[in-house]
Every structure is written in C-alpha cells, then in structure tokens.
C-alpha cells in the first residue's frame, strides 16, 4: 500500500499523529518534508527516517501562527521542492475550558486555539492551494486533520471542538467548490478519534498519553484510508468516529442535505 502522492509536506510532524503518519509515508516510499516548531524533533526524524530507500526526507522549522510569514514560507517550500503534490495540515493544540467559571476562562488561550487550529489553516490553504492548482492535470491533494470532535462536542474542550467543527464545515464547502471547478486538487479530511499522543499532555500531564486508541493502530487504519482511490479517501473517519460519533449515520444525512441545498441554489440560479 502506498499514497498516490510522491512528496508530502506535513505540518505538525514532530509528534503524535503527524510523526507517525509521516514515518509511514517514508517507509512506504513517499518523500516528505516534516514541519514543526521543535527543531530537535525534526532532526531526530531526519536521523531516523532520512536514509529510507528512495524516499527523501527534508525538514523545516515553522510556526503556523506566524500568519504573515506563511506566503513566503509556501514560496520557499515550492522553490526548493517543486514536486510537492500533497500538503497535509495536521498541526493543532487542545485546551480545557469551563464556562461555569467564566472568571477563569483565559481568552488568550481561546484565541490561540482558534488561531492554531482554524485561522492558520485558512492562511495555509490560501498560500499553498495555488501551487497545487498550477500542477493541473496532475492530481494533487490537501489533507486536513479534524477530529471526531468536529461532529460531537466534548464539553471539557468545547472551544477545541468548535475549531474542528468550523474546519469541517469549511472543508465540506471547499471540496464541492473545487469539484465544480474540475480542480486537480482533492480535499481530504482525516477524522481521528481520541489517540494516545502528546495532545492531551497539557491538561493531563503524563496521563494524557494513555487517553484514546494506541497510535500505531490509529496509524495503520488512517494510512489504509488515505491510500484509497477516487472519492473513497476524501473522508477518512477512524475507529469510533465511524459509528459511535456518527460519521456513518447522521453525518451522512447532514451531508446529503448539504448536497440538496447546493442543487436548490443552482436551480434558483445562485
């Protein structure tokens, strides 16, 4: 099994889901550029996976919240690697919030979560999409990591859920706009359930790493989903997201209603 893309640029590759999937890409022959803020992690990644057959590994330190620097970073990446055919936006953070104690709600934390998980994704999409569109007719893609919590809010991390739900809505709309434009860029959404990574460390310390499914099991299922062809890999729900969190059930109804609304708007000439 292999991704259909030859070179993937991965944001959030220094730990957890990003590290593990990026390693899987390299091991299965896809070249990568791993991005994150922690240089020592990127150096470790290059050290461990840099000599893996034909696939190449490059790394770059970048903070996605540095919005003004994003266009120049995208230009630099494509100057250096004009053959990037997939951009994987996976960086993210999660913080707790309790509206029963509004005096303790830290609005800077709220803003940082929205900036990292949503606003930065919009800026990255605007900067990177044109480089993929220019490669038409070659098929390229953008992959976005949202979450099962884009579908069902978990009350302790409601702002996090809201950022993922916002991203999910944008992705649904963006995918149809690009489809209508016969675009060569496929929009892929990966929906992890809870997975054992560092995401939960901030709130739970070392215990955080035991929340959710084992990372290696997640990686195998997610990778298999990403490797599917045609429309089958546009949405990749993993494990509990499929059933318990509603992807195979009411989420399908919601998406059908969205398609009906698109048809209605077309009939009205809008």
Selection from 72, 110, 77 nearest residue 94 by Cα:
110
Q: Which of 4, 27, 28, 37 binds ligand NAP (CB under 6 A)?
A: 37
Q: For residue 151, report the phi and psi dihedrals to the nearest 5 degrees.
A: -100, -40
Q: Which of 90, 141, 233, 239 binds ligand NAP (CB under 6 A)?
A: 90
Whole-number minimum distance, CB 42 to ligand NAP, in Å?
A: 8
Helix axes 215-226, 16-27, angle to 10 degrees: 60
Taking every pair of C-alpha atoms in the chain, what is the biggest distance, in angstroms? 57
The helix/strand/coil state of 228 is: coil
Selection from 3, 174, 211, 215 nearest residue 88 by Cα:
3
Q: How far is C-alpha 1 from the chain's CA centre?
A: 21
Q: Which of 9, 17, 86, 129 binds ligand NAP (CB under 6 A)?
A: 17
Decide if residue 12 touches ligand NAP (CB under 6 A).
yes
In the bound state with ligand NAP, the residue whose beta carbon lies nearer, of 5 and 62, is 62
Selection from 44, 52, 58, 43 nearest residue 10 by Cα:
58
Stretch that binds ligand NAP, among 72-80, 122-130, 194-202, 225-233 (CB under 6 A): 194-202
Stretch that binds ligand NAP, among 57-65, 79-87, 99-107, 170-178 (CB under 6 A): 57-65
Q: Which of 5, 23, 31, 36 binds ligand NAP (CB under 6 A)?
A: 36
In the bound state with ligand NAP, the residue whose beta carbon lies nearer, of 227 and 240, is 240
In the bound state with ligand NAP, the residue whose beta carbon lies nearer, of 64 and 183, is 64
Whole-number minimum distance, CB 245 to ligand NAP, in Å?
A: 10
For residue 91, count other CB atoms closer than 10 A to its CB.
Answer: 24
Decide if residue 76 touches ligand NAP (CB under 6 A).
no
- What the block records as the tokens of 195 is 């997975």
- What the block records as the tokens of 238 is 């993993």
- Where do contacts with ligand NAP occur on this chain (CB under 6 A)? 11-18, 36-38, 41, 63-65, 90-94, 116, 145, 147, 192, 194-195, 197-199, 212
């Amino acid at each position: 099994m292999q991704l259909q893309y030859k070179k993937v640029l991965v944001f959030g590759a220094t730990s957890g889901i990003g590290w593990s999937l990026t390693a899987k890409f390299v091991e299965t022959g896809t070249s990568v550029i791993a991005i994150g803020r922690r240089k020592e992690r990127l150096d470790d990644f290059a050290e461990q996976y840099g000599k893996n057959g034909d696939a190449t590994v490059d790394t770059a330190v970048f903070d996605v919240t540095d919005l003004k620097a994003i266009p120049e970073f995208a230009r630099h990446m494509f100057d250096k690697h004009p053959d990037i055919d997939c951009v994987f936006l996976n960086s993210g953070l999660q913080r707790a919030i309790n509206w029963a104690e509004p005096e303790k709600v830290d609005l800077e934390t709220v803003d940082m979560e929205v900036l990292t998980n949503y606003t930065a994704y919009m800026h990255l999409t605007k900067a990177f999409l044109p480089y993929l569109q220019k490669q038409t007719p070659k098929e390229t893609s953008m992959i976005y990591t949202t979450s099962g919590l884009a579908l069902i809010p978990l009350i302790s991390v409601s702002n996090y859920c809201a950022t993922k739900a916002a991203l999910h809505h944008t992705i649904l709309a963006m995918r149809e706009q690009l489809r209508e434009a016969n675009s060569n860029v496929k929009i892929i959404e990966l929906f992890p359930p809870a997975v054992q990574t560092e995401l939960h460390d901030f709130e739970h310390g070392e215990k955080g790493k035991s929340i959710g499914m084992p990372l290696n099991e997640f990686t195998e299922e997610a990778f298999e989903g990403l490797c599917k062809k045609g429309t089958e890999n546009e949405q990749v729900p993993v494990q509990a997201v499929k059933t318990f969190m509603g992807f195979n059930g009411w989420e399908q109804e919601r998406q059908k209603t969205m398609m009906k609304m698109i048809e209605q708007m077309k009939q009205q000439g809008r």
